[in-house]
Amino acid sequence: MTPDPISPIPGRRLGVLISGRGSNLQALIDAVADGRLDVTLSVVISNRDDAEGLERARRAGIEAICLSHRSWPSREAYDRALVAELQQRRVDLVCLAGFMRVLGAPLIDAFPNRILNIHPSLLPAFPGVDAQRQAFVHGVKVAGVTVHLVTSELDGGPIILQRVVPVLDTDTVETLSARILAEEHRAYPEAVKILLNESWTVDGRRFVRLGRVGEASAVQPRAGN
């Protein structure tokens, strides 16, 4: 049996969590601005006050706040504070965009299957930090991008979409990272669109697309399953 759809998500209010540069946040801002993505960017939260992404958000007229993890006594308490800020703004979907914190249970439980992350490798290869360098040093011939739902397992949730990026013999870590980043900027808005505009479900580890909301299922249930 194909499991029941988890989607659709009730609203289109996005919260974005960042820690730094914010180029993926910018990709979401740009996609909204040019009509490719129909969402409201409700709030951007950074755990660092020097994150360049905070400025990008403010320039786009989006509320941008810093919530430093150092101000809370434990990871749990910090995560509860994040949940409170997101819920106050009636956020439906949370996008991690270079947020350098492992999420704890309070956050994951408050937004079940409602938190996305983007990772610069073809997971499950090269989880964790410096994924592009890990891939380069390993000598893989294709690298890439993964957008996935966030669970308690680091970089381990169900995969929404992946994009492949070739590794060239002439590459350095820097040139490869730049090519991966350009693909990230296309992939993230696309993944958000899938979550909001399509019917989908999670079957074990698998994120399964069932078709557009309101349309007949694009995926025929398999007989005998």
Residue 168: both structure tokens together: 């060239």
14 vs 97, beta carbon nearer ligand GRF: 97
Q: How many residues interact with ligand GRF (rule CB under 6 A)?
A: 13
51 vs 210, beta carbon nearer ligand GRF: 51
49 vs 203, beta carbon nearer ligand GRF: 49
Is 97 one of the binding residues for ligand GRF (CB under 6 A)? Answer: yes
d(CA 61, CA 133): 35
For residue 15, the minimal CB distance to ligand GRF (Å) is 15
**Is 119 considered catalytic here?**
yes
182 vs 208, beta carbon nearer ligand GRF: 182
For residue 189, the minimal CB distance to ligand GRF (Å) is 13
Residue 71 buriedness (CB in 10 A; 0-12 / 13-18 / 19+): exposed
Residue 64 buriedness (CB in 10 A; 0-12 / 13-18 / 19+): buried
> Whats the size of the chain, residue-wise?
225
User: Which secondary-structure segment (H or E) carries 164?
Assistant: strand 159-166
Of 28, 44, 115, 120, the one binding ligand GRF (CB under 6 A) is 120
187 vs 210, beta carbon nearer ligand GRF: 187
For residue 198, the minimal CB distance to ligand GRF (Å) is 22
Is 184 one of the binding residues for ligand GRF (CB under 6 A)? Answer: yes
Of 118, 123, 135, 195, the one binding ligand GRF (CB under 6 A) is 118
For residue 155, the minimal CB distance to ligand GRF (Å) is 9
For residue 60, the minimal CB distance to ligand GRF (Å) is 15
d(CA 118, CA 188): 7
d(CA 117, CA 188): 9
The counts of H helices and E strands in the chain are 6, 9
The neighbouring-strand residues paired with 43 are 15
Contacts to ligand GRF from residues 9-38, by CB under 6 A? 18, 20-24
With a CB cutoff of 8 Å and minimum separation 6, the contacts of 149 are 113, 115, 116, 117, 157, 158, 160, 202, 207
The binding site for ligand GRF (CB under 6 A) comprises 18, 20-24, 97-98, 118-120, 181, 184
- Which active-site residues does the annotation give? 119
